[in-house]
Amino acid sequence: MIDLDQFVADCVAANQESEAQAAVNEVLARLVSTPGAVLAALGDPKSAGLNVLHSSPTLTIFAATWTPQMNLMPHNHLMWANIGIYTGREDNIYWKQTSDGIRAFGADALFEKDTSMMPVDVVHSVTNPLLRFTGGIHIYGGDFFGTKRSMWNPETLEEEPSDGDIIRGIFQRENERLGL
């Protein structure tokens, strides 16, 4: 069994290190290396959601669950992010901001037990390509829900405002789409 309170405490302590993102990622990698234990602690994902484990001005931790074939348009965080997958898969397309807008330039597929460290200036879109739920632990080096950020319209790639409430709404609409 894992102790989620201890995991959060370990992340908070690691966030005080000089290389905070890397130190926090080590804690995250240890956690997702035992995906069965994470599932036992959090339960099998049954809907899209953001289960907040910790939220402060310097660190946000939540378990994100993605419905089958869920997509999230390009968006930024304006803070570093670490993602660890404990069930399913998360595909990321990375985007570069140019004078003409954003352009795709790379991709990465995260599988169970994988982690990813994303820099402060990352713009990415996310897809769960599977016909089953995906669950991941997302850790941000700041106040994810209180920070005004941007997302890009998936059809026009025009920049639009985003924040925690907008992201929560996207997850809720996904549940409604599936009748959950």
Which CATH number fits the domain that encloses residue 16?
Answer: 2.60.120.10
What confidence score (pLDDT) does residue 44 get?
96
Nearest C-alpha neighbor of 78 from the set 97, 65, 64: 97
Handedness of CA 71, 140, 162, 92 (dihedral sign): negative
pLDDT in tens, the chain (180 residues): 899 999 999 999 999 999 999 999 999 999 999 999 999 999 999 999 999 999 999 999 999 999 999 999 999 999 999 999 999 999 999 999 999 899 999 999 999 999 999 999 999 999 999 999 999 999 999 999 999 999 999 999 999 999 888 999 999 999 999 998
What confidence score (pLDDT) does residue 28 get?
98
Number of domains the chain is built from? 1
What confidence score (pLDDT) does residue 79 get?
98
Tokens read off for 79: 């803070």
Tokens read off for 177: 């789409």
What confidence score (pLDDT) does residue 180 get?
87
What confidence score (pLDDT) does residue 111 get?
98
Tokens read off for 58: 């310097």
What confidence score (pLDDT) does residue 164 get?
86
Give the range of the structural domain holding residue 72, as residue numbers without chain letter. Answer: 4-177
pTM attached to this predicted model: 0.96
